A = this chain, B = another copy of it.
Amino acid sequence: MSTLIDTLRHIVGAAHVLTDGDLSAWEQDWRRRERGKALAVVRPGTTEEVAAVVRACAAAGNAIVPQGGNTGLAVGSTPDMSGTQVVLSLTRMSAVRAIDKDNLTMTVEAGCILQNVQDAADKAGLLFPLSLAAEGSCTIGGNLGTNAGGTQVVRYGNARDLCLGLEVVTPQGEVWNGLKGLRKDNTGYDLRNLFVGSEGTLGIITAATLKLYPKPAAQLTAWAAVPSMEHAVTLLGLAHQHLGAGLTGFEVMGRFALTLVHKHMPQLRVPFVEQEEVPYGVLLENSDSESEDHARARFEALLETAFEAGCVTDAVVAENLSQAHNLWHIRESIPLAQAEEGLNIKHDISVPISRIPAFVEYTDALMAREIPGVRLVNFGHLGDGNLHYNVQAPADGDPKAFLREQEEHVNHLVYEAVAQFGGSFSAEHGIGALKVEKLQKYQSPTALAMMRAVKAALDPQGIMNPGRVLPAAAAAPGASA
Q: A interface vs B, CB < 8 Å?
A: 100-105, 146-147, 149, 153-155, 157-158, 160-161, 170, 174-178, 180-191, 193-194, 196-198, 202, 213-214, 216, 233, 236-237, 240-246, 287-290, 298, 350-355, 381, 384-386, 422-431, 439, 442-444, 446-451, 453-458, 469-470
Q: Which residues of B contact A237 (CB under 8 A)?
A: 101-102
Of all chain B residues, which has the CB nearest A238? Answer: B214
Q: Is the CB of A103 within 8 A of B180?
A: no
B188 touches A451 (CB 8 A): yes
Q: How far is the CA of A160 from the CA of B198 in the complex (A)?
A: 18
A258 to chain B, nearest CB (A): 23
B289 near A242 (CB under 8 angstroms)? yes
How far is it, in angstroms, between the C-alpha of A269 and the C-alpha of B194 when the chains are bound?
47
A102 / chain B contacts, CB cutoff of 8 Å = 233, 236-237, 353-354
Interface centre among A155, A176, A213, A447 (most CB of B within 10 A): A447
**In the complex, what's the smallest C-beta–C-beta distance from A273 to chain B, in angstroms?**
28
Set of chain B residues within 8 Å of A196, measured between Cβ atoms: 190
Which of chain B's residues have a CB closer than 8 A to the CB of A182?
350-352, 385, 423-424, 427
Interface centre among A186, A187, A233, A449 (most CB of B within 10 A): A186
Closest B residue to A203 using CB positions: B450
B425–A187 CB distance below 8 A: yes
CB distance from A228 to the nearest CB of B (A): 14
Closest CB pairs A-B (n = 5)? A244-B289, A245-B245, A457-B457, A102-B354, A193-B193
Expressed in whole angstroms, the minimum distance between the Cβ of A73 and any Cβ of chain B is 11
**Given known contacts A102-B233, A189-B469, A194-B190, is B352 in contact with A184 (CB within 8 Å)?**
no
Decide if B184 touches A386 in the complex (CB within 8 Å): yes
Do residues B354 and A187 form an inter-chain contact, with CB atoms below 8 A?
A: no
Within the complex, what minimum Cβ distance (angstroms) separates A286 from chain B? 11
Tell me the complex Cα distance, A458–B191, Å. Answer: 14
User: Which of B176, B447, B451 has a CB less than 8 Å from the CB of A450?
Assistant: B176
Nearest residue in B to A351 (C-beta to C-beta)? Answer: B182
Q: Roughly how many angstroms separate A439 CA and B188 CA in the complex, as a whole number?
A: 8
Q: Is there contact, CB below 8 Å, between B428 and A184?
A: yes
List residues of chain B with CB within 8 A of the CB of A425: 187
Q: How far is the CA of A149 from the CA of B426 in the complex (A)?
A: 30
| Partner pick for A424 among B184, B454, B470, CB 8 A cutoff | B184
> Are A448 and B354 also in contact (CB < 8 A) when A180-B422, A182-B385, A424-B180 are?
no
Verify A178–B240 contact, CB threshold 8 A: no
Cα A182 to Cα B425 in complex, Å, equals: 11
CB-CB < 8 A to A186: which residues of B? 146-147, 197, 424, 426-431
Instruction: Given A243-B289, A446-B170, verify A427-B185 contact (CB < 8 Å).
Output: yes
**A100 vs B352: C-alpha distance when bound (angstroms):** 9
Closest to A174 in B: B446
Q: A184-B384, A245-B245 are contacts. A450–B354 as well, Cβ < 8 Å? A: no
A177 touches B242 (CB 8 A): no
Partner of A384, one of B183, B240, B444: B183
Contacts of A469 in B (CB 8 A): 188-189
B residues in contact with A424, CB < 8 Å: 180, 182, 184-187
In the bound assembly, the distance between CA atoms of A243 and B160 in angstroms comes to 24
Q: State in angstroms the CA–CA spacing of A289 and B186 once bound together.
A: 31
CA distance A233 to B104 in the complex (A): 11
Selected A-B contacts with CB under 8 Å, 29 pairs:
A147-B190, A155-B245, A157-B183, A158-B184, A161-B161, A174-B449, A176-B447, A177-B444, A178-B447, A182-B351, A182-B423, A182-B424, A183-B385, A184-B386, A184-B424, A185-B350, A185-B424, A186-B424, A186-B426, A186-B429, A188-B451, A189-B194, A189-B197, A189-B455, A190-B194, A214-B244, A241-B289, A244-B287, A454-B458
